[in-house]
A and B are shown apart, each in its own frame.
Chain A
Amino acid sequence: WKKDEFRNCNQTPFCKRARAFKPGSCSLVAHDVSINDGDLTAKLLPRNQDPDLPSKPLLLALSVYQDGIVRLRIDEDPSLGPPKKRFQVPDVILDEFLSKKLWLQRISTETIGPDLSPSSIVYLSDGYEAVLRQDPFEVFVREKSGKRVLSLNSHGLFDFEQLRVKEEDEDWEEKFRGHTDTRPYGPQSISFDVSFYDADFVYGIPERATSLALKPTRGPDVEESEPYRLFNLDVFEYVHESPFGIYGSIPFMISHGKVRGTSGFFWLNAAEMQIDVLGSGWDAESGIPLPSSQSRIDTFWMSEAGIVDTFFFVGPGPKDVVRQYTSVTGTSAMPQLFATAYHQCRWNYRDEEDVAHVDSKFDEHDIPYDVLWLDIEHTDGKRYFTWDKALFPNPEEMQRKLAAKGRHMVTIVDPHIKRDDSFPLHKEATKKGYYVKDAAGNDYDGWCWPGSSSYLDMLSPEIRSWWGEKFSFENYVGSTPSLYIWNDMNEPSVFNGPEVTMPRNALHQGGVEHRELHNVYGYYFHMATAEGLVKRGNGKDRPFVLSRALFAGTQRYGAVWTGDNSADWDHLRVSVPMVLTLGLTGLSFSGADVGGFFGNPETALLVRWFQLGAFYPFFRGHAHHDTKRREPWLFGERNTELMRDAIRVRYMLLPYFYTLFREANTSGIPVLRPLWMEFPSDEVTFQNDEAFMVGSTLLVQGIYTKEAKKVSVYLPGKQSWYDFRTGTTYRGGITHQLEVSEESIPAFQKAGTIMPRKDRFRRSSTQMVNDPYTLVVALNSSQAAEGELYIDDGKSFEFKQGAFIHRRFVFSGGKLTSLNVGPLASSSTKFSSNCVIERIILLGHSGSKSALVEPENRTVDMELGPLHFQTGQHASVLTIRKPNLLITDDWTVKIL
C-alpha cells in the first residue's frame, strides 16, 4: 500500500479544519419555521448577527416519507445569488420513493426539557416524531415516548461554508504531491455530528477493508486514527485492516443496540467525505449541555462540497432499516440465474485456444462453471469493444461454443477511452464533446491502460444513452447474446492523476466540478453500461455488469467485487466483513476475488477460499497476470476434489440463493447477513464477522488459518442447528469447539427452516433448469419448519409481470405443505415448470417408514439416506424417497 500517495485528514484542509471544531461551536438558530409544499421549512442564521456584515441564511427543509423516513435538506438560498449552484446528486433517489412523501399539515410546538426556546414537532409514523429544535438548532427523531433515536447537531458541530467571492490576497489553491487543485470556488465544505441513541455499535459506510463493527476513530482510550474516508480510489495492494476508503462509497451508516434495536443515517453527497466514529467520553471536556442523557454513539461527518441531503431511518429492526434505506436508493436488481453461479476469471485468458482449453478442463474434471471472463488483454491495444485479432480472431464462434454448453462470457469495458484518432469511439466522443473537461476547458487527458486517455462525462443522460448504444450487437463487433460486461477502473482510475484519480477541478456538464460528484462517477458508468445491455436485448434480457466503483444505488445496476485483494489469509478473513457491510448498505450482489488477486495463494488457502467463496453472493475466481495458474485442477487430485466439492455446494444451493436474491430484490434484505440481523437481541453476535448467515437458514463460519485444527463457532438463538454436511445437531446459544475438517468449512442449518436444493450437478446452471429438487426440512423443538422457493425463467424481466413461481413450504403437525405465495394461477403472464421434488430430507425426525401424499393419497417410502452425495457420506438422515411432487402444485405430505 502506497500510503504516501493518498491524502490523510491532516493533508486535507477541510477535514483538518473540521476535526478541530469544538462541540457547541455552531451558533445557528432556526427562524421562520413553517410548512411549505408539505415540508417543514426554516431559515438558519447565526444567533448573534453582525449588523454590518449580515450572514446569508441557509434554507432547511424537512420532509417525511412513509415507513418512518425523514429527509433533511440544507442548502444555500438560491434567491440570494450564490456564485454557483451547489451540486445535488441526481439519479440516485427512486421516483417511487418521492411519491411516498407524507404532506405535512401541521406543526406542534413544544418546549422540551430545560430548553429555552420551542421545538417544532411533526408526525413521522405511528410511533415516531421528527423534531426541529430551534435554538440551538438541532434535528432529531424520537419515539412518541420521547426517547431519542437519531439526532443531527446535538453537539453543535454543524458547519456549512457558503460559497463566496475570493478576497484579495486569499489563496484557494491546494497542492498535493505535485498536483495543484485550483479550487476556483474556494471553501464549500459541510460538517455535522450525528448521534445514534441506545446503540452498541455502528456499521456500514463502505468500502474499506476493516471490521464489520466500526471501531472509534477518536476519543479517550482510542488509538488516534484517520477518519473513515469515502473517496473512490484505485488503491494498489490495499491493506486488510484500515479505515482508508477504497473503490466505492456508500455514505450510509447503521447503528444497532440490544436495548432499542436499529437505526440508520444516509447522507446523499458524492464529494469526498470523512467520518469519525467518536469513542464514548470524547466530549467529556466540552462543557456544553447535552439535550439527552440516553446512551449513544456519536459520529462526525465531513464533506468537501455538495449540500446537506440526509435521511433518517428509524428501524426498529435491522431488516427494517435496510428496507427503509433501499426504499430510497433501490433494491438489488434481480440477476440472471447464471450470474449467481460460479465465474472463472483470470488476467488474462490469453487467446481462443486458452479459453477452449480452460473450458474443456472444467468438463474433464466434472466441475461446473457458468461464466468465463476476459480481462483487458483481449482487446486491440486496450481499445474497448475491440478484439486482439491475433489472439481472438473468431470471438463470436468462441462465445457460441461456450453458449452451446449453456455458458456465458464476460468481457471488460473500462471508462478510459484511448486517445487515438484512428479509434472511432474516441473520434466520435471528441467530435461530440462528450469527454470530461480539464479546468481549462479542454478534453481531460489522463493516463490509464491504453496510455493517454479521456473519460466520458457520464453525468449527462445524453452521453449515457450514446454509450449504451455501443453495446448493441451491430456496434460491438464480435459480441453475441451470451456476452456480458465488466466495468473496471471506474473510480475513475487515472494513473497520473492526484491520488490516482481525476483532478477535482475537472469539469462536467453544467459546470459541475469533479470534486462535487467524484464518488458517483463510477455509478453512472455502471448505470450507462447496464442500461446499454438492457437496450441491446430489447428490454427483454436482464443485464449483467460487474463494477468496481460503487455508490448508494449501485445495487440497481449489478454486481460489485472488492477489487484487487491479495492472496493471503488476512484478505480471506476481511472479505467477510467487507461483503457483509456492502449487504447492509443495500448492495447484496458482491464478492471478493477467490484466491486473492495479487500473489500466489498456498494451496490450503485457495481451497479454503473456494469453500468460503461458494457462499459469496458473487462467486468468482480471479488472478493477477503475474501469478501462477490456479484453476481448480492444478493442485493434485485431492485438492481438485475439495475445490470441486466447494463449487458444487454453490450449485446445489442455487435454488436457495436465487430465492434469496429475489428477497433482496423485493425487500432489500441482503443475501449474506451479519448474525445480528437474524438475532438482533443476541449481543454475542454484534461484533462477530467471522461467521455470517446466508439468508435466515444457513450459518457459515470461515476458516482463516492454515493450521487450524479446532474452531470456535458461536451458534446464536435458542433453537438448535444441524451440521450442513452431516446433519449432526448442535445446541444454540453457545460457542462450540469443533474439529476442523479439510473437506469443508463449518456450516449449519437453523432448526425450523426448510432449504430447497438441487443435488444433480451439470456443466452449468443452464442444464439444471429441469432437474428435480431436494427439500431439507430442519425441524425445531416443536417439530415445525418453514422455507420458501422462488423460480422464474432466470433470464427475462417477465417476473415483473408475475411470471414466476413462489412457494412457501410449511412443516407442522407432522405434515409438510406447499403453499402458493406467488401470483395466482390465473395470472395472465405465467411461468411454469415441470420440476418435481425427488427427495425430502427430514432433520430432527425419526422412526417413520412411509408418508402419504395428498390429495393423491399416494404412499411413498421413507428410509435413511445420505444428506449429501459427496463420497464417504453415509445414509444417516431420514429421507422421503421419490415423492415426485410437482413444484408448481399445492400438496401435502403427511408423515405416517
Chain B
Amino acid sequence: VSSPKHQFRGISPQDEMYYKSSDMIKCRDGSNKFSKAQLNDNYCDCPDGTDEPGTSACPNGKFYCRNAGHVPLLLFSSRVNDDICDCCDGSDEYDSKVKCPNTCWETGKVARDKLKKKISTFEEGVKIRKQEVEQAKIAIIKDEAELLKLKDEEKVLKGLVEQLKERKEQIEKVEEEERLWKEKEEKKRLEREKDGTKKTESETTSVGEGKTHKEDNWKKNEAIENYDKEYKQGEGNDDDKIGNWEDSTTDQARMEEEVDSELEAQLSNKPETKASLLKEDTAVENDEPLAKSETGENAGTKESSEEVLRKNDASSELSREELGRLVASRWTGENTEEQSGNMDSTNDSDEESHDISKDTHENDGYASETDDDNQRYDDDLEGDLEDIRDEFRDDSTSSERYYSDTELDSPDVDTQSNPSWLEKIQKTVRNVLKAVNIFQSPVNQSDAANVRKEYDESSAKLSKIQSRISSLSQKLKNDFGPEKEFYSFYDQCFESKENKYVYKICPYKQASQVEGHSTTRLGRWDKFEDSYRVMIFSSGDTCWNGPDRSLKVKLRCGLKNDITDVDEPSRCEYVALLSTPAACVEEKLQELKHKLDMLSKEEAEKHDEL
C-alpha cells in the first residue's frame, strides 16, 4: 500500500505540493501532524482525513480520482475499497474484490455530448432571453406611460364626474320638490275627483327595469358567442403561436371556464339550486359522513366525522362499511376511492366555478390581486363580470388576446391614443351642464336625462380607469427579475398534465391542480427564491392534518416555457420544473463553456498520453 507509486493516491494534482513540501505534514485542521510514512498508511492520524486521502481509514477524508478522459471526482473516503465502482477509472477499488473497468472515455464522451447539447440550448436560450428582456423593458415603459396618462385622465374625469354629480343632485332636488308639489296638487285634485293616474309613474319604472334585465341577458348571450369565436380563433392559431409562449390550451381552457362560470353564476342565482345544494349537504351528514372529510379543509371536518361516530355509538345507524371508512379516515384523512368521485364533485365544482371566475377576472387585468379574497359571493360579481364582458366584446375584433395586458385595449384605453376622447367628453359634459337650467321648473326632462346619462357613463368610465390604474400599478409592483426577464410571465399560465391531474401554474397569481371538475389550489404567488431559480407559491388550500399546500417551481434553461415533473414529495408540498428561456443566463453559459473546455482539454491530454 505504501509503495512510492501509491503513496500519493487519492491526492489531487493541486494538493500534491502540500504533501511533498516537508517530511512532517500538518493535518489541515491543525489537530496533529504526521510523517511521510504515515501518509496513506491505512491508519487515521488526522480526524479531518488529511493523512489518508487514498484509503478509507479516516471517516472524514476525501479521495480524488483523476478519471482521465472524463471529469475528476472527489469521493468520500467511505467509498474507497467498498466493492462498489465509483470512479470511472476504477481507481477507488484498488484493493477490493471487484474489478472496475475504466469507462472514463465512454462516459466522458457521453457527458461531453450532453454538455454540448446543453450549451447549444443555452446559447439559443440566451438570445431569446435577450429579446424577452428588451420587449419587457419596452412594455414596462409603455405600462408606466399608460399609468401616468390614466392618472391624468382620472383626475380630469373625476372633476367631470364631480360636476355631473353635483348637477344631478341639484336636478334631483328640484325634481323632488316638483314631485312633492305635484303630489300635493294631485292629492288636492284627487280629493276633488276621487280618481287617480298615479300608475303612470310606477309603470315607467317597471318598464325601465324590464329593459335593463333584457339587456343583461342579451349581453350575456353575446358574451358567450364571443367566447366561442375567440375559442375558435385560438384553436386555429395554435401553430402560429409557438413563439409567443402562449399555450393555446390555456386560452381554450380559460374560455371554457368562462362559459362555465357564466352558467354557474346563473345557476347560483337560482334559489332552488342553492336549496338543493343545501339539501345535499345535509344528506352528506346522514348518508355519507366521510364525504365531508374529503372536502374538509380543516380539523373541524375531521371532528365532525368523529361526532357522527359518537352519535351513532348506541344506535349503530352507521353501516359496517361506513364505520370502517370512518375509522380508516382518521389515519388517512381522506376517503376511500369509491367515494371521492361523485360526492365531492358537487361540492367542489361549486367552489371551482368561483375560482375560475376569479381567474378570468385577474387575467383581464382589471381587478387587483387582492380582490380574489372577497369576490366569492360578492354581490358585485355579476356586475363586474358584465364590465369585463363589455370590454371583451369591444376589443375582441381588434385583438386576439383579450386578456393580454399590453394589448388590452378597452374602448377607453383604445381612445387613449386619441386625445379627442377626453376632450369630447369634456365638451359633451360642458354642453349638457350648460343645457340644464336647474332654476327652471319643471326641469326639462330630456336635459335631466342627459345629465344622468352622462353621469352614469362618466362614472362608469372613471371606475374602469381606476381599476385599470390599480391593476397596472399592482402589476408593476411585482418582482420581474433583475432584468425584468420574467415580465412576460405575468399574463401567462403554464399547464402540465400528469396522470389524472392537470397542473396550472400562473406566475404572480396562483397555481392549482385540476382533476375533472375539482380544483385544488396549490398556492398563491409568493416570491422568487434562490437567485430567481425557484418560484414559490404558498398558502394554498389546507390539507387535513397537514400544512397548507405549497408549490416550488424550479426554473431551468429551455427554449420554451414548459412545465414538467410535477411531484408531491411530501404531503401537500409540490414541486415542479419549468423550462424557460428566462432561466438561460449568460454567466451560466460561460460556466458551461468553461467546463467543456476543461473536459476537452482532459480529452486531448488523454490522447497525448496514448
Query: Residue A451 at the B interface, CB < 8 A?
Result: yes
* Interface pair B43/A838, CB less than 8 Å apart: yes
Closest to A357 in B: B569
Expressed in whole angstroms, the minimum distance between the Cβ of B64 and any Cβ of chain A is 16
In the complex, what residues of B have CB within 8 A of residue A871's CB?
Answer: 29, 47-48, 60
Expressed in whole angstroms, the minimum distance between the Cβ of B567 and any Cβ of chain A is 8
Interface residues of A in 529-552 (CB under 8 A from B): none
* Interface pair B78/A366, CB less than 8 Å apart: yes
Expressed in whole angstroms, the minimum distance between the Cβ of A505 and any Cβ of chain B is 15
Report the bound CA distance from A540 to B153 in whole Å.
89
User: Which of A236, A353, A405, A874 touches B330 (beta carbons < 8 Å)?
Assistant: A236
Q: Interface size (A, Cβ < 8 Å)?
A: 57
* Interface pair B47/A447, CB less than 8 Å apart: no
Report the bound CA distance from A839 to B42 in whole Å.
11
Interface residues of B in 68-113 (CB under 8 A from A): 76, 78-79, 82-84
* Interface pair A350/B331, CB less than 8 Å apart: no
User: Which of B29, B82, B312, B543 touches A178 (beta carbons < 8 Å)?
Assistant: B312
Report the bound CA distance from A669 to B191 in whole Å.
114
A628 with B570, Cβ < 8 A, contacts A447-B324, A495-B325, A875-B32 known: yes
* Interface pair A874/B31, CB less than 8 Å apart: yes
Expressed in whole angstroms, the minimum distance between the Cβ of A3 and any Cβ of chain B is 11
> B281-322 interface mask toward A, CB cutoff 8 Å, 1 = contact, 0 = none?
000000000000000000000000010011011111010111
Expressed in whole angstroms, the minimum distance between the Cβ of B28 and any Cβ of chain A is 11
Expressed in whole angstroms, the minimum distance between the Cβ of A499 and any Cβ of chain B is 11
Interface window among B443-451, B489-497, B502-510, B544-552: B544-552
Query: Residue B411 at the A interface, CB < 8 A?
Result: no
Interface centre among B82, B310, B318, B321 (most CB of A within 10 A): B82
Report the bound CA distance from A5 to B326 in whole Å.
13
* Interface pair A451/B336, CB less than 8 Å apart: yes
Expressed in whole angstroms, the minimum distance between the Cβ of B77 and any Cβ of chain A is 8
In the complex, what residues of B have CB within 8 A of residue A874's CB?
Answer: 31
User: Which of A357, A404, A447, A870 touches B84 (beta carbons < 8 Å)?
Assistant: A404
Interface residues of B in 397-413 (CB under 8 A from A): none
A882 with B43, Cβ < 8 A, contacts A626-B544, A869-B59 known: yes
* Interface pair A178/B314, CB less than 8 Å apart: yes
* Interface pair A870/B313, CB less than 8 Å apart: no
Query: Residue B581 at the A interface, CB < 8 A?
Result: no
A448 with B78, Cβ < 8 A, contacts A495-B323, A629-B569, A873-B47 known: no
Query: Residue A452 at the B interface, CB < 8 A?
Result: yes
* Interface pair A366/B43, CB less than 8 Å apart: no
Query: Residue A822 at the B interface, CB < 8 A?
Result: no
Interface window among A110-118, A696-704, A757-765: A757-765
In the complex, what residues of A have CB within 8 A of residue B31's CB?
Answer: 866, 874-875
Query: Residue A500 at the B interface, CB < 8 A?
Result: yes
* Interface pair B568/A350, CB less than 8 Å apart: yes
User: Which of B76, B306, B320 touches A447 (beta carbons < 8 Å)?
Assistant: B320
* Interface pair A495/B326, CB less than 8 Å apart: yes
* Interface pair A496/B320, CB less than 8 Å apart: yes
Report the bound CA distance from A350 to B575 in whole Å.
14
Report the bound CA distance from A574 to B336 in whole Å.
33
User: Which of A353, A452, A629, A865 touches B570 (beta carbons < 8 Å)?
Assistant: A629
* Interface pair B573/A448, CB less than 8 Å apart: no
* Interface pair B571/A771, CB less than 8 Å apart: no
In the complex, what residues of A have CB within 8 A of residue B543's CB?
Answer: 626
Query: Residue B242 at the A interface, CB < 8 A?
Result: no
Expressed in whole angstroms, the minimum distance between the Cβ of A636 and any Cβ of chain B is 15
Query: Residue B499 at the A interface, CB < 8 A?
Result: yes
Report the bound CA distance from A763 to B310 in whole Å.
50
Interface residues of A in 572-630 (CB under 8 A from B): 600, 624-629
* Interface pair A767/B313, CB less than 8 Å apart: no
Closest to B76 in A: A366
In the complex, what residues of B have CB within 8 A of residue A626's CB?
Answer: 333, 543-546, 571-572
> B476-501 interface mask toward A, CB cutoff 8 Å, 1 = contact, 0 = none?
00000000000000000000000100
* Interface pair B310/A625, CB less than 8 Å apart: no
A405 with B32, Cβ < 8 A, contacts A447-B324, A866-B47, A869-B59 known: no
Interface residues of A in 471-504 (CB under 8 A from B): 494-496, 500
Closest to A405 in B: B84
> A421-440 interface mask toward B, CB cutoff 8 Å, 1 = contact, 0 = none?
00000000000000000000
> A821-865 interface mask toward B, CB cutoff 8 Å, 1 = contact, 0 = none?
000000000000000001100000000000000000000000001
Interface residues of B in 235-270 (CB under 8 A from A): none
A869 with B60, Cβ < 8 A, contacts A4-B313, A629-B570 known: yes
Query: Residue B367 at the A interface, CB < 8 A?
Result: no
Expressed in whole angstroms, the minimum distance between the Cβ of A156 and any Cβ of chain B is 39
* Interface pair B48/A177, CB less than 8 Å apart: no
Query: Residue B604 at the A interface, CB < 8 A?
Result: no
Closest to B97 in A: A770
Report the bound CA distance from A628 to B323 in whole Å.
29
Closest to B320 in A: A496
In the complex, what residues of B have CB within 8 A of residue A448's CB?
Answer: 324, 328
Interface centre among B29, B309, B316, B328 (most CB of A within 10 A): B328
Report the bound CA distance from A178 to B319 in whole Å.
10
Expressed in whole angstroms, the minimum distance between the Cβ of A90 and any Cβ of chain B is 31
Query: Residue B56 at the A interface, CB < 8 A?
Result: yes
In the complex, what residues of A have CB within 8 A of residue B312's CB?
Answer: 178
* Interface pair A177/B313, CB less than 8 Å apart: yes
Query: Residue A881 at the B interface, CB < 8 A?
Result: yes
* Interface pair B59/A446, CB less than 8 Å apart: no
Closest to B315 in A: A178
A767 with B325, Cβ < 8 A, contacts A178-B313, A496-B320 known: no
* Interface pair A628/B573, CB less than 8 Å apart: yes
Report the bound CA distance from A871 to B58 in whole Å.
11
Query: Residue B57 at the A interface, CB < 8 A?
Result: yes
Query: Residue A354 at the B interface, CB < 8 A?
Result: yes
* Interface pair B499/A390, CB less than 8 Å apart: yes
* Interface pair A771/B56, CB less than 8 Å apart: yes
Interface centre among B31, B316, B499, B570 (most CB of A within 10 A): B570
Query: Residue B338 at the A interface, CB < 8 A?
Result: yes
> A202-229 interface mask toward B, CB cutoff 8 Å, 1 = contact, 0 = none?
0000000000000000000000000000
Report the bound CA distance from A771 to B95 in whole Å.
12
In the complex, what residues of B have CB within 8 A of residue A629's CB?
Answer: 569-570, 573
Query: Residue B148 at the A interface, CB < 8 A?
Result: no
* Interface pair B57/A760, CB less than 8 Å apart: yes
Report the bound CA distance from A353 to B564 in whole Å.
14
Closest to A175 in B: B314
Query: Residue A797 at the B interface, CB < 8 A?
Result: no
A236 with B569, Cβ < 8 A, contacts A178-B315, A767-B84, A870-B47 known: no
In the complex, what residues of A have CB within 8 A of residue B58's CB?
Answer: 869
Query: Residue A891 at the B interface, CB < 8 A?
Result: no
Closest to B336 in A: A451
Expressed in whole angstroms, the minimum distance between the Cβ of B318 and any Cβ of chain A is 8
Interface residues of A in 624-668 (CB under 8 A from B): 624-629, 648
Query: Residue A97 at the B interface, CB < 8 A?
Result: no
Report the bound CA distance from A870 to B309 in whole Å.
53
Interface centre among A354, A495, A771 (most CB of B within 10 A): A495
Expressed in whole angstroms, the minimum distance between the Cβ of A36 and any Cβ of chain B is 50
> A782-814 interface mask toward B, CB cutoff 8 Å, 1 = contact, 0 = none?
000000000000000000000000000000000
Report the bound CA distance from A357 to B313 in whole Å.
46
* Interface pair A452/B321, CB less than 8 Å apart: yes
Expressed in whole angstroms, the minimum distance between the Cβ of B332 and any Cβ of chain A is 8
Report the bound CA distance from A659 to B497 in whole Å.
54
19 of the cross-chain contacts (CB-CB < 8 Å) are: A4-B310, A4-B313, A177-B313, A178-B318, A451-B321, A624-B331, A626-B333, A628-B570, A628-B571, A760-B57, A762-B78, A767-B84, A839-B43, A865-B45, A866-B47, A869-B59, A871-B48, A871-B60, A872-B47
10 further interface pairs, Cβ-Cβ under 8 Å (given A495-B328, A760-B56, A767-B82): A236-B331, A353-B567, A406-B84, A627-B546, A629-B569, A761-B59, A870-B47, A871-B47, A875-B31, A882-B41
4 closest residue pairs by CB, A with B: A447-B324, A178-B316, A496-B324, A495-B327
